[in-house]
Structure 1
Amino acid sequence: MISTFKNAWKIPSLRKKMLFTLFMLLIYRLGSHITVPYMNAQIVQKLYSSTGQTVFSLLDLMAGGNFSKFTIFAANIYPYITSSIVIQLLTIAIPSLEALSKEGETGRKKIAMYTRYLAIVIAFVQAIGFSFGFFAEAVVATTLLEKSVVVLSIVAGSAFLIWIGEQITEHGIGNGISLLIFAGIIARFPTDIMRSVTLVKAGKASPIFLVIFLLIAILIVVFVVALNEGERRIPVQYAKRVVGRKMYGGQSTHIPVKVLMSGVMPMIFASSIVSIPTTIAWFTKNESTRRTIAKFFTVEGVPGTIFYVVFTVLLIIFFTYFYTAIQFNTVEYSKNLQQNGGFVPGIRAGKSTSDYLQRTVNRLCLPGAIALSILAILPIFLTRISHLPFNYGGTSIIIVVGVVLETTRVLEQQMLMRHYKGFLNK
């Protein structure tokens, strides 16, 4: 991985992309220090601290501390993630959107535009919930204009992050949305580690659990790397063709089918969905209603923990299959193989090949989804046992490792393309 980054840095065009990505991430971190106007920061911290280890902790971790500080990036990139989920589901359900998605670049641009518009609407709703629901006591705005500034600051922050994410994807290296979440998690690592050490020094947690956590963190990294790199290679044979006096085809190759083709996206999607009950709680000022939602729909209470665990597992499994189906269309792959004279040995071309590929993908998806689910819910149990903040021990490490591997893979692909271009120009 390190050698890949070193080699990429030597190529001027890739170095420019890497610097652009770093510059965009720097702007994001600078914006994380701009607090929302007309908000009492001390009361915000007090209200956030009173929530304990809820879904807010995970959201704040992946937002780089923007939620607990209530900066202009408090809603972070989550409105866009939620919007992407909704639009992708609607693309399957609504024929006109499905047809639009198949129109090539023009269709994709229109769908991206709809996603952005819906993300702004969701950000607006969340901003009202944040400001005048959960953090209502911290609002010092009195006039309608001042209250509007509070809401619009958060909406503008999310819109700006969406723009930064798209710019990174288009002009930088890797997936912009994933890199923004990655930057937020990395920014919180030192603070959370120091907090764990402080708890151990104060005698509120056992040092044995801290050592166990470090070992678990290393094992998680190794396991995630193996999970991301694991693949099944389906052999493909191309038939021989005679064109004029030359013979083409006849070579053997393979289709690499990843165990975790969807990457970290199912975990990001699932974390956005499970936060919806808490979002609803932000809109109510009734303390009794809030406590009921916290008890049954967050990890504060035993019923809520069961709901959170079961729902998170189901969502991760669903989005793993869903995202894989979007990325790897077995019907289209089978058609392309047939048109180019390729076939899987022992499998008939056409529908039989498509069914075979689908069965293979399904068998690989299930263990990958279960592994992701276990790693996602592991911090909940470790936190309850050790009383240490283990949020950064499961989901966040998976996202960090996944994004690093994905970015490394993108760099390798771009370097390979440039080597081919250089070879063809000679």
Structure 2
Amino acid sequence: MASAAEQLASGISFSSFQKATELKKRLWFTLGALVLFRFLSFVPIPGIDPRALAQLFDTQRGGVLDFFNTFSGGSLERMSIIALGVMPYITAAIVVQLGAALHEPWKQLKKEGESGRKKLNQYTRYLTVLLTTVQGYFIATGLEGLALNQGISAVVEPGMLFRLTATVSLVGGTLFLMWLGEQITSRGIGNGVSLIIMAGIVATMPTLIAQLLEGGRTGSIDPLIIFSVVLVLVGLTLIICFVERAQRRVLVNYPKRANHKGMVQQESSHLPMKINTAGVIPPIFASSILLMPLTVLQMAGGGLDPNASSNDILITISTFLQRGAPLYLLLYGAGIAFFTFFYAAVQFNSEDVADNLKRAGGFIPGIRPGKATEQYFDYLLNRITTVGMVYLVAICLIPEVMFTQISIGNALLGGTSILIVVNVTMDFVSQVQSHLIAHQYGDLIKKAKLKGGGRRR
């Protein structure tokens, strides 16, 4: 027999959506915030020559700049005030999460509830300002350095004034996006920061599609390759939708209690453990760390002379770390595997879960509470994470291997981008359905009260 929630979900229709005024307000607010994000991506920082910048950016394809440019919706390529996007905020949040799992004082803050969470959020904001300031300053100096190496000056008037202006503009843009994401989360639908990243990725899709179709028309790209791109993307999307909803449900029993009829019965529930506990963090970290040396080499040595013997090592490293190279694929897969296990252990703390179950009187059938339950959760987590690791490595490496011959949109066609878009879309749809179900529950309660009031009269 279907549950009440399932029956309500099956009854959701367009008419019920029309009546949900609160949901419509939230959707309009979310849409307006994302439109504002896209407008800001076209506001450049002061002192930049757009044409020269476009030429310089074309020389830096394949590095971490290309990776971050996809997540910022092309803002980095235009060097807008939100060129860094929300990546510094995400990095800061991950560092604070790791600190809360490894650093004892932060562990205690995490256990303090709402007050501790607010303090950790404050640390995240401080770290975001620091990371954005450092990254903004290095981007400003890197632009000036590229002008000296390659003879193309994207900076109108180089100097300390430009560096200060660019850094302040980038810090302000990132902090505004951080605030905008929090507003979407509280007043809109879904996770605001995730929606901003997805909007940036989706915004570059029309350009990619146009380039693919134009390449097929002119003959520069084989139509069979275009067909394979579409086929692989559809297949990966279906796999992601299936695996991201997959979970291992652990049966938990509670002591027998008397119900309202005086009968003694045993309560039970399920503890869900997701197959992909780490989410999209492992591919993001692995890509960032692996592409960082290549980007540094490109920005620091844009004018390398291939005939100079002193530059042979730099040129060799740059060649081996290019996207699609065998060494890059090997290190990329190893990085994803490492961060999958590491972040899954941080996200799911077996000791805390076992202690919480013990306090609540819950137990797993056949497993003694306490240390034995903790070891059982560790055993399950290792097995589940192994499956999740294989899934993430496959999702991220298949596009890299198959699309290595395509010189356009590599970052957009990467598994990380596909993972983010599909995950955020699924979460968004789930939250819309939750609001509609809550609205229908409210209507049922109102009708029940009216009927009950009529009988009393």
User: Normalised by the size of structure 1, how large is the TM-score?
Assistant: 0.88
Residues 211, 245 of structure 1: alpha-carbon distance in 2 compared, 3 angstrom cutoff: closer
Where do 1:2-401 residues align within 5 Å? 10-134=19-143, 136=147, 137-142=153-158, 144-242=160-258, 246-247=262-263, 249-278=265-294, 280-281=296-297, 284=300, 287-288=303-304, 296=317, 301=322, 305-387=325-407, 389-393=409-413, 394-401=415-422
Structure 2 portions without partners, runs of 5+: 1-8, 148-152, 305-309, 450-457
Counterparts of 1:221 and 1:150, CA distance in 2: 38
Mean Cα displacement is larger for which, 275-284 or 98-107?
Answer: 275-284
Q: Answer whether contact 1:41 1:138 (CA < 8 A) is retained.
A: yes
CA drift at 1:2: 12
Residues 77, 261 of structure 1: alpha-carbon distance in 2 compared, 3 angstrom cutoff: same
CA drift at 1:267: 2.8
Mean Cα displacement is larger for which, 49-58 or 186-195?
Answer: 49-58
Counterparts of 2:312 and 2:12, CA distance in 1: 50
- Aligned residues between the structures: 425
Counterparts of 1:151 and 1:102, CA distance in 2: 36
Mean Cα displacement is larger for which, 317-326 or 68-77?
Answer: 317-326
CA drift at 1:301: 3.8
CA drift at 1:350: 2.2
Mean Cα displacement is larger for which, 94-103 or 138-147?
Answer: 138-147
Matched residue SS, 1:251: strand
Counterparts of 1:121 and 1:237, CA distance in 2: 47
Residues 271, 176 of structure 1: alpha-carbon distance in 2 compared, 3 angstrom cutoff: farther
Counterparts of 1:272 and 1:34, CA distance in 2: 26
Structure 1 portions without partners, runs of 5+: none
Q: Answer whether contact 1:338 1:349 (CA < 8 A) is retained.
A: yes
Matched residue SS, 1:236: strand
Question: What residue number does 1:402 align with?
Answer: 423
Counterparts of 1:141 and 1:291, CA distance in 2: 33
Mean Cα displacement is larger for which, 109-118 or 325-334?
Answer: 325-334
Matched residue SS, 1:234: strand
CA drift at 1:126: 1.4
Q: Deviations over 1:274-300 (max 9, x none)?
A: 343355447736744999667536876
Residues 142, 343 of structure 1: alpha-carbon distance in 2 compared, 3 angstrom cutoff: closer
User: Normalised by the size of structure 2, how large is the TM-score?
Assistant: 0.82
CA drift at 1:392: 2.6
CA drift at 1:220: 0.6
Residues 145, 32 of structure 1: alpha-carbon distance in 2 compared, 3 angstrom cutoff: same
Mean Cα displacement is larger for which, 308-317 or 92-101?
Answer: 308-317
Counterparts of 1:382 and 1:15, CA distance in 2: 41
